[in-house]
Amino acid sequence: MESFLDTDITYLKGVGPKRAELLKKESGIFTFRDLLYYFPFKYIDRSQFHKISEVNATNAYLQLKGKITSFRTEGTKYKKRLTAKFSDGTGDIELVWFQGVNWAVKNYTIGAEYIVFGKPVVFNRQLSIAHPDIEPAGRFNETDRSAFVPQYTTTEKMKAGYLNSKALQLLTQTMLALPQAKIDETLPQWLVAKHNLLSLDRALKIIHFPNNTSELRLAEYRIKFEELFYIQLGILRLKTGRDKTVKGFVFSKVGYSFNTFYNKNLPFELTSAQKRVVKEIRHDLGSGKQMNRLLQGDVGSGKTLVALMSMLLALDNGFQACLMAPTEILARQHFNTIERMLDGLGVNVMLLTGSTRKKERETLHAELRSGRLHLLIGTHALIEDPVVFYNLGLVIIDEQHRFGVAQRAKLWQKNLHPPHVLVMTATPIPRTLAMTLYGDLDVSVIDELPPGRKPIQTFHYRESKRLGMIGFLRKQIDMGQQVYIVYPLIKESEKLDLQNLEAGFNGMVQMFPPPSYNVICIHGRMKADEKELAMQAFKNAKAHILMATTVIEVGVDVPNATVMVIESAERFGLSQLHQLRGRVGRGEGQSWCILMSSDKLTHEARKRLETMTATNDGFAIAEADLKLRGPGDIEGTQQSGIPFDLKMANLARDGQLLQYVRTVAQEILDDDNMLESEENQILKNQLQKLKSSPTDWSSIS
C-alpha cells in the first residue's frame, strides 16, 4: 500500500511527463497520495436546471436543459470556431467551441435534448458558454451519476494543459480503478467503530465522487476527525511524556519575601481571579512536576503582579527567576514597577536590555553567576549566551506570542535542569486555537479586571470627520486627561512611517500649540534613553499627547491616559487594535478609543472596525478575527510549527469537534500513555509519520 500511494504521479495513466510537471508545479501534486488528498473546494448541485430566460452573465456555473437548434462555423481551417444555438423554450444562448470543432459537429445532433453545464459570459452582447460540459439528457437521467459535481482548484496554466476540474476528477477515478489501488486505514479499527466513522477508503471516495449531501457530510466528518485528532494526540502525548520524565524543582516554602510583599507592599487587594491563578501556580511549583503554564488575561487584568508573586516564590526557595518582555520600553516598565513594589524587601533586581552598557553588563553577569542577583528582567538580551545563572528556577515570558519557539527553548536551557516556565499573553486566542497552539500547556485565565474600571467607549471616525475628533481631544485634554495617538508601522518602509508620524505630529502641534500644550513623539529611530525620557515625561503628566508608531503596542501602563486615537485603524488587525485600546481604561475615569480611518473601506476593514465598536470582550474579538482571517494569519500561529493549512478541518468552524477529539485523545493516553498496546500501534506509527513531516512536535514548548 505504501508503495501504491507513494507512486510518482507521472506514472498515472493520462498524466505523463508534461502534465506531471504541471501538477507538481501548479498544485503540489507529486504522488498518488497527493492527488487523493487534493480535495474539491466546493460542489455544484446538478439536480437543478436554470431557465435560459433568467440567465445573465453574473451567474456562476449553471445547468440548462434544451436543444441545439443550429450550428455555425467561422474562421480559417486552422483557427476554427463553432457556435451552436441552444434553446430551452424560454430563450436561447450560444455554445462555443474553439477546439474539437469537427468532433462536436459530428457528435451533437440538432433537435436532440442535451444537458449543458458551464459558466455564462457576455461576448459581442450575446450570452454564451464556451466549451460547455454537454451530454444527452436521457443518459444523464438514467445513470445514477452524482448530482454533486466536485470543483477542484486549477490554475490557468493547468487549464491550458487540459487539467481542468473535470480532468482532475477523472485522474482520481483512473487511479482508484487500478487493480493495485488500496487505501489503508489510518485510525485503529476500534476507534473507527466506536465513533461511527466511515472507513478512510470510503470517505476519500465519497469526497471525490459524492452521491448526496448526507454521505458527503459523513465523509468530511471522518477526514476532519482524523486531522484534528492526530494534532491533539501529538500535543497531548508530548505533554504526558514531559510530565512523566521531567522532574521539577520543588518550591515548597512560602517565605519571607512573598509574605512580606503580600502583607506590607501590595498596594491593593488582589482580584479573585488573580488569587485563583496565584494558587494554581503555587500548586504547580510545589508539586514536583515541572510547570509549563500559560497565563491568559485580557489587557489590564493585572498579569504583572501574578508574575512578580511567582518570582518571589522562587526566591523564597533559594532560586533565581527572570522575566522576559518583547520590547525595551516594556522591560524597563516592568523593571521600574517591580523595583518600586519590592521596596524595602532586600531583593536584588536588575535590568538587561540591548542598550545596557558594557560595564554594567559585566557587573550584572558576575552578580548573576554568583547568585547575589535574584531577579533579572529584560528583553531577548536575556537569552544571549554570556548570561549564566547561578540557579535559575523560574522563567516568565510576557506577551509570549511575540517570541518564537526557538527563543523560548533557549531560556529553558539556562539551567542544567529545566526551570519552571510561565508564559503570559494578553492576545486573546479563541479556545480552539489555544487548544492547538498551547495544547501542551496548562492554562490559567484571569477573567476579571481590577475593580472600578469603566468599559472603554469606542468610536469610529472617517477622515472627513477629523475636526470632530480634534474637538473631542481638546475637551478631554482641557479636563486634564492625556492622549495616545498611534500610527501604523509599515514593515517595508520605516521611512514612510516616520514621514506619516512627523506629518501627523506637525499637524497636532498646530492644533495644540505650546506653551499651553505639550505634544511629544516616540519612534523607532530614537535611542533607548531618548524614548525612555519621552515615556517618563508622559507618565509624569508633563505631556498631553504622546504620538508613536506601535512601539507602545504592548504593556505600557499610564492610568491617567484615557484617550487612545488609532490612525489608519483599517490597517491594523483586530487583535492589535484590541491590544492598543487596552492601553487606556486603566484608571477609574471613563476612557475612550477613537478609530480613525479613510472614508473608503473594504468590506473586511469595515467589519473589523464594527467589531471593535461593538465589543470590549477580547475573546469575542478573537473569535471574530479567526472567522475573518483564518488561523494561518493570526499572530503566533506562524511561529508555532503547527500546520494550519489543514486540508479539511477549519479551526474557526470546527471548535466542537476539536474539543471532542481532544477528549478522545486524552482518554487513549490515560489508558496507554506511551501508546504501547498492540491496538494502538497504528496511532504511534501515524504520529511518527506526522513528526517526520514539517511539523515537529518536539519543538513546541
Q: Does 299 bind ligand ADP (CB under 6 A)?
A: yes
If you search the block for the grid coordinates 471593535, which residue do you land on? 612
Question: Residue 135 corresponds to which cell in the numbers above?
Answer: 451530454
How many angstroms separate the CA atoms of 685 and 666, rounded? 18
Where does this chain touch ligand ADP (CB under 6 A) — which range of 72-80, 95-103, 270-278, 628-636?
Answer: 270-278
Among residues 239 and 531, whose Cβ is nearest to Mg ion? 531
Question: Residue 519 corresponds to which cell in the numbers above?
Answer: 505634544
Where does this chain touch ligand ADP (CB under 6 A) — which range of 295-303, 377-385, 506-514, 626-634?
Answer: 295-303
Sequence letter at residue 285: L
What is the size of the binding site for ligand ADP (CB under 6 A)? 19
Interacting partner of 485 out of ligand ADP, Mg ion, none (Cβ under 5 to 8 A depending on kind): none
Q: How far is the CB of 310 from Mg ion (least distance, A)?
A: 14
Interacting partner of 201 out of Mg ion, ligand ADP, none (Cβ under 5 to 8 A depending on kind): none
Where does this chain touch Mg ion (CB under 5 A) — which range of 16-24, 553-561, 626-634, 658-666?
Answer: 553-561
Q: Does 555 bind Mg ion (CB under 5 A)?
A: yes
> Pick from 226, 245, 291: which is nearest to 689 by CA?
226
Q: Does 274 bind ligand ADP (CB under 6 A)?
A: yes
Q: Which residues contact 516 (CB under 8 A, 6 or more apart)?
A: none
Among residues 418 and 555, whose Cβ is nearest to ligand ADP? 555
Residue span 485-524 as binding mask against ligand ADP, x where in contact by CB under 6 A, dash where not: ----------------------------------------
Where does this chain touch Mg ion (CB under 5 A) — which range of 289-297, 364-372, 458-466, 551-559?
Answer: 551-559
Among residues 469 and 554, whose Cβ is nearest to ligand ADP? 554
Query: Using CB under 6 A, which of 426, 429, 469, 661 touches ligand ADP?
Result: 426
* CA distances in angstroms from 356 to 333, 370, 372, 479, listed in the order given: 15, 20, 19, 39
* CA distances in angstroms from 101 to 65, 75, 78, 309, 394, listed in the order given: 21, 11, 11, 81, 76
CB-based contact 492:573 (threshold 8 Å): no
Interacting partner of 405 out of Mg ion, ligand ADP, none (Cβ under 5 to 8 A depending on kind): none
Question: Residue 527 corresponds to which cell in the numbers above?
Answer: 535611542
Where does this chain touch ligand ADP (CB under 6 A) — which range of 169-177, 200-208, 302-310, 475-483?
Answer: 302-310
User: If residue 313 lies in a helix (H) or strand (E), which one and from where to where?
Assistant: helix 303-316
Q: Does 428 bind ligand ADP (CB under 6 A)?
A: no
If you search the block for the grid coordinates 497527493, which residue do you land on? 34
Q: How far is the CB of 558 from Mg ion (least distance, A)?
A: 13
CB-based contact 183:204 (threshold 8 Å): yes
Torsion angle of the four alpha carbons 536, 538, 541, 542, in this order, in degrees rounded to the nearest 10: 80
Q: How far is the CB of 302 from Mg ion (least distance, A)?
A: 9
Among residues 40 and 302, whose Cβ is nearest to ligand ADP? 302
Sequence letter at residue 83: T
Among residues 415 and 427, whose Cβ is nearest to ligand ADP? 427
Q: Does 301 bind ligand ADP (CB under 6 A)?
A: yes
Q: How far is the CB of 383 from Mg ion (least distance, A)?
A: 20
> Pick from 507, 598, 495, 599: which is nearest to 549 by CA?
495
Distance of CA 291 to the CA centre of its chain: 25
Helix ranges (DSSP H) in 371-427: 405-412
How many angstroms separate the CA atoms of 172 and 14, rounded? 11
Per CB under 6 A, which of residues 513..572 are in contact with ligand ADP? Answer: 555, 557, 559
Interacting partner of 268 out of ligand ADP, Mg ion, none (Cβ under 5 to 8 A depending on kind): ligand ADP
Interacting partner of 608 out of Mg ion, ligand ADP, none (Cβ under 5 to 8 A depending on kind): none
SS3 at position 577: helix
SS3 at position 346: coil
Residues near ligand ADP, by CB under 6 A: 268-271, 274, 297, 299-305, 426, 450, 555, 557, 559, 586
Residues near Mg ion, by CB under 5 A: 555
